[in-house]
Amino acid sequence: MSSRTGPAGTLATLQRSVFLLSWPFFILYLLLPVYGKEIGASTVEIGLFFSAFSLMTVLMRPLIGWAVDRFGRRPFLLIGLGGYAATWASFAFIDQVWGIIAARLLQGISSSLVWLAAYAMVADLSGEGARGRAFGGLTQASSQGSIVGVFVGFALLNARSSSNGVDSELGSWQLLFLGYSVATLLALLIALWRLPESSPHGPQGAGHRGSTPIVWSRPWVLLLLVTLVTGASWAMVSPILIVFLQDRLGVGMETLSWAFLPYGLVWALLPTYLGRLADRFGRKPLMILGLVMAAATSLVIPVLPSIAAFALVWALQGLCYAAGDPAEQALVADLTGGDQRGRAYGLYAMAADLGATIGPVAGAWLYQAVSPQAPFVANAAVLALCAGALALWLHVPARPPGTREAAAVSEPVDDR
């Protein structure tokens, strides 16, 4: 392991690992219901595939956040990468419903380990003046990996299907996820070799007992509440979006997949640069602007006349979230100290996961009981209200010059 690369090199190493790790993320979201049907899973059981993951992250994040502060960031990142590799390998051979649910539970644990450790590392290694860019870089690396994974996955599935026929589908699934497992093992090797401990207490600081409790200030409580509510609001729309577009515009999945491509490209190319805006102009303006614009686009989606118009508006919504997310993630570190970051990101991620657990049920009910447009209108109203709450009540105290945080490392992230 090399620890002489400096903060910028360490952040670049973390981004490379996250890039490889993220290959299966989007394609798994698309293929898991399809594979579930192939092995005879009911609609309820397919729903459990997704609920199992969300439930495990909600339960694990606070505990893992405490452990990341207590024992250091690096061990949990490495364990999580190993858990992800085992998850993808298990997907390659599972053909039972409860086996997939067990694998999703393991994925939920691995997700909590990797992302809490990664968030804490980014906060440790980037000063307040470069933190938005650093978090944007992490998000961008993950999005780029997901896009590469989609192209690799569909190229493999299409090639094997055309050459061997329908009976090769299960074999294609096995080969695909074994390949993803190998990519994740490579991410683990990169982290093992090149990624040092970033805890403020250093690699010898594991077991540090002097950590201070999180101060439950008004800005911190407001941030958690907004994260919970906006997470639920976004999740109201996501599960019914495809169904709504198919019903309204009469387009197939292939056309829809191309319509989502501009949105993916926004996340793959822009978060690092948008994060710089949060460093330059502050977290609050970018968060408010992102929520207001996202509310406006959500309001427009139900009346769009074509799939091309949807692709444009959805890409604009991706731009809004890509601007607000790095600012929000950086604000978590701004409001908490170095020995609290694991716990802080654990609570922050738990709030988002709780929202994601509640939102789909509310969105499905609105879609069926009120109207297909209702979830989009409700999402727009909630996002606008949250923007107003931030504008009125989020007051982030400026750090005085010379504090340890103000003097923290602010090297730019190596984007290569």
Residue given tokens 């909630």 in the structure block = 382
**What is the rounded average pLDDT of the residues 70-99?**
93
CATH of domain 218-393: 1.20.1250.20
Alpha-helix runs per DSSP H in 240-306: 241-249, 253-259, 261-269, 271-281, 283-300
Amino acid type, 2: S
154: buried, middle or exposed (CB in 10 Å: 19+, 13-18, 0-12)?
A: middle
Reply yes or no on whether the pLDDT at 333 is more than 80. yes
Highest mean pLDDT among 23-32, 65-74, 161-170: 65-74
Q: What is the pLDDT of residues 334-355, one digit of tens each?
A: 988 777 889 999 999 999 988 8
Q: Give CA angle at 293 (290, 298), nearest 5°.
A: 120
Size (the chain), residues: 416
> What is the structure's pLDDT at 122?
95
Tokens linked to 221: 């409580």
* Helix (H) / strand (E) containing 333: helix 307-335
* Helix (H) / strand (E) containing 10: helix 6-21
Reply yes or no on whether the pLDDT at 415 is more than 50. no
> What is the structure's pLDDT at 211?
59
Q: What share of the chain has pLDDT > 70, as a percent?
A: 87
Report which of residues 204 and 287 the model is more confident about: 287
Q: What is the pLDDT of residues 44-74, one digit of tens each?
A: 777 778 778 888 998 999 999 999 999 999 9
> What is the structure's pLDDT at 73?
94
CA–CA distances in Å: residue 75 to residues 33, 135, 197: 33, 21, 8
Alpha-helix runs per DSSP H in 126-260: 131-164, 169-194, 218-237, 241-249, 253-259
Contacts of 257 (CB under 8 A, 6+ apart): none
What DSSP character marks residue 403? S
Q: List the single range of 178-187, 197-206, 374-383, 405-414 with lowest mean pLDDT.
A: 405-414
Mean predicted lDDT score pLDDT of the chain: 84
> What is the structure's pLDDT at 259?
85
Q: What is the pLDDT of residues 222-265, one digit of tens each?
A: 999 999 999 999 888 877 787 788 788 887 767 777 888 899 89
> What is the structure's pLDDT at 326?
93
Q: Give CA angle at 364 (360, 367), nearest 5°.
A: 140
Reply yes or no on whether the pLDDT at 296 is more than 50. yes
Reply yes or no on whether the pLDDT at 84 is more than 90. yes
Tokens linked to 241: 């979006």
Q: Is 331 left (phi over 0), alpha (psi -120 to 50) or beta?
A: alpha
Entry pTM: 0.83
Report which of residues 303 and 162 the model is more confident about: 303
| Helix, strand, or coil (residue 105) | helix
Between CA 322 and CA 333 the distance in angstroms is 18
What residue spans define the domains of the chain? 6-200, 218-393
Tokens linked to 307: 């799939």
CA dihedral 57, 191, 66, 404 (to 10 degrees): -130
Reply yes or no on whether the pLDDT at 170 is more than 70. no
Between CA 332 and CA 216 the distance in angstroms is 12
> What is the structure's pLDDT at 412?
30
Reply yes or no on whether the pLDDT at 407 is more than 70. no
Kindly indicate the confidence band of residue 163, based on its pLDDT and cuts at 50, 70 and 90: low
Reply yes or no on whether the pLDDT at 97 is more than 90. no
Reply yes or no on whether the pLDDT at 401 is more than 50. no
* Fold of domain 6-200: Growth Hormone; Chain: A; (1.20.1250)
